Structure 1
């Protein structure tokens, strides 16, 4: 499978404002930076590596799911999973924690009290897509 990822050696990542944007449907205080690859949700193909950051105090209000695999590593900060629509409750996780979700797994809502940075891998399973 060709994931259209290029060879990159170590290089500095600008963690300031350059190259960050809010994904469609996300609050403005949650932003992504694509590091490598692409994910074509219409054609159900690709492999994307991204950073996702939450500003302090931001939360989402509803669980969601998607049709691709997702691996998430909490690089820094805090992330709470399963809060209510007012941002209350849920289970809190600290840096150096990990999740791996198969397609169509409901997850969220999410919040971060102090802000966080996640590294995420998103990809389609070619064998599952052909079934």
Structure 2
């Protein structure tokens, strides 16, 4: 299986809280291949979201993140990243924890 073939359309997926996500985090899956572990989603964090309780994140898949609107503050790096910025993280790369004062929306692409 692979991600579905989709021409331009308005995504009909609902904003839902991802499994294991903290309060204030929602996603809308745009395309997914659950067998291979590939997905493209819009992820939004409500104003005031803070992922400190989860500590530094690491995962076993590639992750690409494009900040569509808003800003994220990385507590480990003490840096703020704003709309238009992009990250490409290989498996195992540490990142976060994060806070967002005014909220943020991200395009997130993950694959093995």
Q: Calculate the TM-score normalised by the size of structure 2.
A: 0.88
Gaps of 5+ in 2: none
Number of residue pairs matched? Answer: 110
What's the Cα RMSD here? 1.8
Contact 1:60 1:110 in 2 (8 A): yes
Distance 1:13 1:97 in 2: 23
Structure 1 residue ranges (4+ consecutive) displaced by more than 2 angstroms after TM superposition: none
Distance in 2, matches of 1:101 and 1:7, equals: 26
What does 1:1-131 align with in structure 2 at a 5 Å threshold? 2=1, 4-13=2-11, 19-39=14-34, 45-61=36-52, 62-82=55-75, 90-124=78-112
Question: Where does the alignment leave 5 or more consecutive residues of structure 1 unmatched?
Answer: 84-88, 125-131
CA shift at 1:90, angstroms? 2.3
TM-score normalized by the length of structure 1: 0.76
Q: Is the 8 A contact 1:39 1:122 kept in 2?
A: no
Of structures 1 and 2, the larger Rg is shown by 1
